[in-house]
Amino acid sequence: MKYDLIIVGQGIAGTAIAAKALEYNKKIILIDERHKPVASEVAAGVINPLTGKNWGLAWEFENAFAEAQHFYQYWETFFHTKFLRQKPIKRYLAHIGDQNTLAAFAQENPYQKYVQALHLSASERHTSAWKNTFGSVDIFPAAHINTQHLLATFRQFFSEKNMLCEEQFCHEQLTIFSDKVIYKDMEASFVVFCEGYKVLSNPLFARLPINACKGEVLLAEIDELDRHFMYKCGVMAAPQSEKIWWIGSTYHWNELSETPNLAMLEELRKLLQENLLVPYKIQNMQAGIRPGSPDRRPIVGNLKEYPPVTILNGLGTKAYLYAPLMAHFLAKYLFQQENLPPTIALSRFKAFR
């Protein structure tokens, strides 16, 4: 069977490039063995313009968010469902320095468009559901993606259209030519590896500097939080189902097991206990392994020695923000021969020039 693309992996990276290829009327096949939740399913799906302790503006946020909105809304219309909901992040200030930083941001481009409201009054602090010593800020535009619903909806669609092969990809059975690849009985112009951290086991990308970071999350039942907001107060809290909230997350680089680390989960539970002032009940725990890069930029491109072999990886903790834009760039590269931006190109790494 002949295809335009063989796509290995159906996390958000694989899903995004598959969907984008379909917009170009390309014939695709995805190969994905799903035996346990992947990082894309465990992720909160939070799109946040201001991140980190220093309130840094997310790289290329404006362009990435515009493309993400277009992508998710296009497929919402196609599937007659909802994936993306725009809602503010109420972030609680950790110290007096945060007050000074946010007061400056409220008057400064490009930050002022994201700082919607500062809440510093004593009355607001005393009525908060979260520990609130220094006040809070509403960050918007921001959004939340229903990650599990999105991936499951696409997976069912791919399966019904015979675009999904549910098996483990065997790299040894891939034959590469100058203008095509053959895998078992499949022939394609390109193979796109969207394997997440499992690219570390891909012999074609053995020199790729992927930083695999494990994260644990809790799923907690919380009745007294306003679902019109997401929250950042020691932990990140994002609404899932009717009463269930995603609480996360931990970060550690010394373990690649997909089984939750109980010690790390206990640290997360303690943070929740210290900062949340209303009752909660933990319902479940999960873990995922995020693939990042040394410069915290996505990795997109093809191998110089094997042009049909391409990759979309390194999306890190902001996968649902960046996947649509990276799929957009990769599709233009593959189907319209447009150059990739140097900041995301695989060739920026010396081993792949």
Rounded Cα distance between 333 and 341, Å, is 10
Q: Kindly report the CA angle at 23 between 17 and 27, in degrees rounded to 5?
A: 75
Q: Are residues 200 and 218 in the same domain?
A: no
Which pLDDT score is estimated for 117?
86
Q: What's at 308, amino acid-wise? A: P
Which domain covers residue 304, as residue numbers?
Answer: 2-43+148-208+295-352
Rounded Cα distance between 233 and 235, Å, is 5
**Ranges of the chain with pLDDT below 50:** none
3-state helix, strand, coil in the chain (%, to 5): 35, 30, 35
Residue 249 lies in a domain: yes
Rounded Cα distance between 155 and 134, Å, is 44
Whether omega before 141 lies within 30 degrees of 0, making that bond cis, reads: yes
Residue 239 lies in a domain: yes
Sole residue written with tokens 């069977």 = 1
Q: Are residues 25 and 156 in the same domain?
A: yes
Which pLDDT score is estimated for 53?
87
Residue 117 lies in a domain: no
Sole residue written with tokens 């990082």 = 39
Which pLDDT score is estimated for 242?
83
Which pLDDT score is estimated for 311?
98
Q: Give 119-135 pLDDT, tens digit per residue.
A: 887 667 767 899 999 99
Q: Cβ atoms within 10 A of the Cβ of 158, count?
A: 24
Residue 248 lies in a domain: yes
Boundary-marking domain end, from 292, 315, 342 = 292
Q: What is the CATH number of the domain that holds 284?
A: 3.30.9.10
Which pLDDT score is estimated for 265?
95
Which pLDDT score is estimated for 37?
72
Number of structural domains, the chain? 2
Boundary-marking domain end, from 292, 316, 340 = 292
Residue 91 lies in a domain: no
Q: Are residues 250 and 271 in the same domain?
A: yes
Boundary-marking domain end, from 252, 271, 292 = 292
Q: Give 17-73 pLDDT, tens digit per residue.
A: 999 999 999 999 999 997 677 899 999 999 999 988 889 999 999 999 999 999 999
